[in-house]
Amino acid sequence: MVRPATILVSLATALSGFIIIAVAHSRDTACQLRLGAYVDQSLSVSCQNIVSAYFVGFTLVVGGLLALALALMLMTRREGITKMSAPSTHAPVATRHVI
């Protein structure tokens, strides 16, 4: 139950980071178009906060992908351990080939 929840949360975190980056990119494009002719004028508050929005977006994407990778690595490691520790139902090789 914990593994699917962890995977879902990490994917949601990465997706929210992608959404924040997309919104910041569209806002950046609008600011660049608006300020192209007005180089000496002051920037609006929404245009000044674009760098922080990019930083938050990239941080969420990287954090979500790292959490996803960690969850998948732990999931495969646990499956490998349970396969190794499970008792074998097959007969040993020496008893199968009796003459």
List pLDDT tens digits, range 53-91. Answer: 899 999 999 999 999 999 888 887 766 566 655 555 655
> Does residue 70 fall inside a structural domain?
yes
Q: How far apart are CA 32 and CA 40, in angstroms?
A: 13
Give a yes or no: residue 91 inside a domain: no
Read off the pLDDT band of 42 (50, 70, 90).
Answer: low
Tell me if 95 is assigned to some domain: no
Per DSSP, which regions of 25-74 are E strands? none
Secondary structure letter of residue 90 according to DSSP: S
Is the entire prediction scored with pTM above 0.85?
no
Give residue 67's domain range.
2-79
In a domain, 66, yes or no: yes
The 10 Å Cβ neighbour count of residue 8 is 12
Work out whether the CA dihedral 70, 76, 82, 85 comes out positive or negative: negative
CA-CA distance, 54 to 57, in Å (whole number)?
Answer: 5
Tell whether 90 is covered by a domain: no
For the chain, the domain total comes to 1
| Residue 96, domain member (yes or no) | no
